[in-house]
Amino acid sequence: MRILIKNAFLVLEDRVELGDLLTDGRTIAQVGGVIDGPCDKVIDAKGCYVFPGFIDTHTHFDLEVGSTVTADNFVTGTKAAVVGGTTTVLDFATQERGMTLMEAFHKWENKAKNSSCNYGFHMAMSEWNDARIAEIPLMIENGVTSFKMYMVYDNMRLSDGVMYEAIKYLAKEDCIIGIHCENDDILKARVKELKAAGKTGSRYHAVSRPNIVEADGVGRLMDAAYLAGGPAWVVHLSTKEGLAIARRARERGQEVYLESCPQYLVLEESMYDAPDGAKFIMSPPLRSKDDQEALLKAMAAGEIDWIGTDHCSFTMAQKAVGKDDFSKTPNGGAGVQNRAEIVYTRAVKGGYLDIVEMGQLLSTRAAKLFGLYPRKGALQAGSDADIVIFDPDAPHAIHAATNLHNCDNSPYEGYEAAGKARDVLLNGQLVVENGQLVAPGKGEYVHRDRCGRYRK
Ligand code: URP
Ligand code: ZN
């Protein structure tokens, strides 16, 4: 199938160019200028931006959390993703204690069958010992070249010493490890204190984990990476204090990758006081306008590497488990469909970013670091034909009822977005047409190369 996209604003890596793009089968055949047939289908993209398919670096589909499981599995989550312009998700396969990395990998492979966008896995590790380390070459062979460790959650938490060892080991393999940065001891002490004082409502989730709780974690990560001589990747950065510490680490020559999320750009702490405040219980919690502004300015300055969603959805019934105790509420929110439209509205229309930078944040840099470039993240001849036609003039409000998420609530309910993904090509096939998913289940596993450490 040859698809010809005409009259587009092509979002290239350093400029936007008015022109055409031709696909041939699974790849891009020609980019730029006026292209005339032969082809099987013509799409007029007049007035629209054409981006390389967006990559969401941070999703949790079909994740067991305590005694419950996320509302979205791969079938529902990837439908929402692709309609929002995300053609690849990197989900966190999770190695529970006592499980091998290969078992976790196979478990996630099975979960991800019938996905509607392409998918790869980071491996979240809950153990670091000789047996697990011995499996890392197998992970690399299977296309898993990025890992994650948590400073929090009793079933996942690992020590700073382990984080140091993992950074050092993985750097030699040109792999990377992302760290969930929060001070678990302090936040637990504060949770205990708040509960003892009868402060059990949703807003106290944020009170239990103030900015400094994240900043402490970021600081420990930066120091561990400095001493280990390897890269540091902060997942879901949410605070100006954490940002300042990461900035200082870069100033002393460190290789630092920063991910933030749409919720930390448009939502704020006061929202916990809403009647459905539990839907905002996520970690890190929502912050202040000052934090939003600091992150947006950092995005504008090229300091934030990419935006992932941390999509981890729960229904209001699931959230209600914590109605008398915020600390029992499952953490996470729905957002995989809404990332591009929010970044476009808040950051591009808001005057912080241009369109080229939006492409970098939503696609190109993630492709580079996570071993996908130039197969993905680029509009180049030979690259995969994962393509988003984005309409910048499509005002609409976000609603849980119209999102494809399998979730009855949205943290972004009522958010007025200025544009949206109109059409999406996945592996050369038109899967979303005029905002409708016309070909579900076409996602494939993405076998990734070692990391392209562009800040080394
Ligand atoms: O609250 C969140 N973000 N839940 C998902 C797991 C994590 O911490 O990333
Ligand atoms: Zn997460």
The residue contributing the CA closest to ligand 1 atom 2 is 332
Q: Which ligand is nearest to the CA of 153?
A: 1
In a domain, 446, yes or no: no
Q: Distance between CA 343 and CA 358 in Å, rounded? A: 7
Residue 447 has a pLDDT of 98
Domain that holds residue 289: 54-369
In a domain, 97, yes or no: yes
Q: How far is the CA of 447 from the centre of ligand 2 (A)?
A: 21
Taking alpha carbons only, the member of 178, 161, 179 closest to residue 217 is 179
Would you call the peptide bond into 330 cis, given omega within 30 degrees of 0 as the criterion?
A: no
Q: How far is the CA of 180 from the centre of ligand 1 (A)?
A: 9
Q: Are residues 68 and 44 in the same domain?
A: no
Q: Distance between CA 245 and CA 334 in Å, rounded? A: 29
Q: Distance between CA 49 and CA 343 in Å, rounded? A: 14
Specify the residue for token string 């469909």: 337
Which of 261, 312, 319, 407 to mutate for ligand 1's pocket (most ligand atoms within 8 Å of CB)? Answer: 312
State which ligand 1 atom lies nearest to the alpha carbon of 60. 5
H or E, element range at 118: strand 118-125
The residue contributing the CA closest to ligand 1 atom 9 is 310
Which of 281, 314, 331, 407 to mutate for ligand 1's pocket (most ligand atoms within 8 Å of CB)? Answer: 331
State which ligand 1 atom lies nearest to the alpha carbon of 150. 8
Q: Distance between CA 214 and CA 216 in Å, rounded? A: 5
Residue 37 has a pLDDT of 78
Q: Are residues 69 and 22 in the same domain?
A: no
Residue 15 has a pLDDT of 98
Q: How far is the CA of 20 from the centre of ligand 2 (A)?
A: 37
Specify the residue for token string 């902060």: 234
Q: Are residues 123 and 20 in the same domain?
A: no
For 135, the token pair is 């499996």
Residue 66 has a pLDDT of 92
The Cβ of residue 441 has, within 10 Å, a number of other Cβ atoms equal to 13
Work out how many domains the chain is built from and give that number.
Answer: 2
Q: Are residues 60 and 107 in the same domain?
A: yes
Q: Which residues pair with 92 in a beta bridge?
A: 122
Q: How far is the CA of 60 from the centre of ligand 2 (A)?
A: 6
CATH number at residue 130: 3.20.20.140
The residue contributing the CA closest to ligand 1 atom 7 is 283
Q: Are residues 63 and 179 in the same domain?
A: yes
Q: Are residues 38 and 61 in the same domain?
A: no
For the Cβ of 283 lying below 6 angstroms from any atom of ligand 1, the answer is yes
Q: How far is the CA of 59 from the centre of ligand 2 (A)?
A: 6
Would you call the peptide bond into 38 cis, given omega within 30 degrees of 0 as the criterion?
A: yes
Q: Distance between CA 280 and CA 408 in Å, rounded? A: 13
In eight-state DSSP terms, residue 411 is: T
Q: Are residues 93 and 105 in the same domain?
A: yes
In a domain, 445, yes or no: no
What are the CA-CA distances from residue 166 to residues 104, 143, 169, 177, 324 (Å)? 18, 18, 5, 7, 39
Specify the residue for token string 């290239």: 12
State which ligand 1 atom lies nearest to the alpha carbon of 152. 8
Given its phi and psi angles, is residue 149 left (phi above 0), alpha (psi -120 to 50 degrees) or beta? beta
pTM above 0.75, yes or no: yes
Q: What is the pLDDT along the chain (456 residues), one digit of tens a residue?
A: 999 999 999 999 999 999 999 999 999 999 999 999 799 999 999 999 999 999 999 999 999 999 999 999 999 999 999 999 999 999 999 999 999 999 999 999 999 999 999 999 999 999 999 999 999 999 999 999 999 999 999 999 999 999 999 999 999 999 999 999 999 999 999 999 999 999 999 999 999 999 999 999 999 999 999 999 999 999 999 999 999 999 999 999 999 999 999 999 999 999 999 999 999 999 999 999 999 999 999 999 999 999 999 999 999 999 999 999 999 999 999 999 999 999 999 999 999 999 999 999 999 999 999 999 999 999 999 999 999 999 999 999 999 999 999 999 999 999 999 999 999 999 999 999 999 999 999 999 999 999 999 999
CATH number at residue 13: 2.30.40.10
Q: How far is the CA of 41 from the centre of ligand 2 (A)?
A: 39
Q: Are residues 82 and 113 in the same domain?
A: yes
Q: How far is the CA of 332 from the centre of ligand 1 (A)?
A: 5
What are the CA-CA distances from residue 245 to residues 148, 250, 298 (Å)? 20, 9, 13
Judge whether 363 and 327 are in contact, CB under 8 Å. Answer: no
In a domain, 442, yes or no: no
In a domain, 455, yes or no: no
